[in-house]
């Protein structure tokens, strides 16, 4: 699974060279949102220096989309991705790619990079209360437990 972070650049590595049939391919990535079924195509440049082993791509996720230049706008959530090879540096339609069969498909998760603040709970009561379920309740009917002792855990 590819993990992308919102408002940042993420470098991903895929093995596409062994499936590529074009000499100098341009790679078209199509991300499809799982919940909305909306597609987001983007052309990504292969930045790998060892293309025989793997292909490296910088995915730029930004609020300002420029898909021909490798910038895509995605919301947080899960996506399916497909990668197509083509000769056109501007085509964003996979049905017009030189090879309309995806070279690779998979899952992508887009996460938000903002840190959520959590409120910690600090327990100031350091005592423990013991109950005996076999004793007759002294309180309201239906409680069924009676306190038999309390102790302080600290000091």
User: Which one, of 106, 86, 75, lies nearest residue 12 by Cα?
Assistant: 106
Domain extents for the chain? 2-111, 125-155
pLDDT number for residue 51 = 84
- With cut-offs at 50, 70 and 90, classify the pLDDT of residue 138: low
User: Which one, of 78, 113, 71, 111, lies nearest residue 92 by Cα?
Assistant: 71
Which CA distances in Å does 4 have to 28, 49, 69, 110, 124?
17, 22, 17, 5, 41
pLDDT number for residue 52 = 82
Distance (Å, whole) CA 70 – CA 47: 12
pLDDT number for residue 129 = 65
pLDDT number for residue 113 = 72
Q: Is the pTM of this model over 0.85?
A: no
User: Which one, of 29, 22, 33, lies nearest residue 43 by Cα?
Assistant: 29
The CATH homologous superfamily of the domain defined by 2-111: Immunoglobulins (2.60.40.10)
Q: What is the pLDDT of residues 76-88, one digit of tens each?
A: 999 999 999 999 9
pLDDT number for residue 79 = 98
pLDDT number for residue 35 = 94
Distance (Å, whole) CA 60 – CA 82: 17
Stronger pLDDT, 96 or 116, i.e. the higher one: 96
- H or E element that contains 3: strand 2-5
User: Which one, of 9, 28, 22, lies nearest residue 90 by Cα?
Assistant: 28
Contact between 127 and 151 (Cβ < 8 Å): yes
Structure tokens belonging to residue 109: 């998760």
Question: 14 pLDDT exceeds 80?
Answer: yes
Q: What is the pLDDT of residues 36-73, one digit of tens each?
A: 999 999 999 999 998 888 999 999 999 999 999 999 99
pLDDT number for residue 70 = 96
Which CA distances in Å does 7 have to 18, 62, 63, 88?
32, 5, 7, 27
pLDDT number for residue 128 = 66
Question: 119 pLDDT exceeds 60?
Answer: yes
């Amino acid at each position: 699974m590819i993990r992308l972070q919102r408002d940042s650049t993420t470098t991903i590595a895929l093995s596409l060279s062994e499936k590529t049939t074009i000499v100098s391919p341009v790679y078209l990535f199509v991300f499809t949102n799982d919940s909305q079924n909306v597609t987001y195509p983007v052309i990504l440049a292969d930045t790998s220096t060892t293309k025989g082993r793997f292909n490296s791509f910088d995915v730029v996720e930004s609020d300002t989309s420029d898909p021909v230049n490798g910038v895509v706008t995605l919301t947080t959530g899960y996506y399916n991705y497909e990668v197509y090879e083509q000769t056109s540096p501007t085509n964003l339609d996979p049905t017009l790619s030189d090879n309309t069969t995806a070279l690779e498909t998979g899952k992508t998760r887009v996460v938000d990079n903002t840190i959520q603040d959590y409120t910690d709970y600090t327990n100031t009561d350091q005592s423990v209360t013991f109950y005996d379920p076999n004793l007759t309740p002294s309180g309201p009917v239906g409680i069924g437990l009676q306190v038999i002792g309390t102790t302080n855990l600290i000091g």
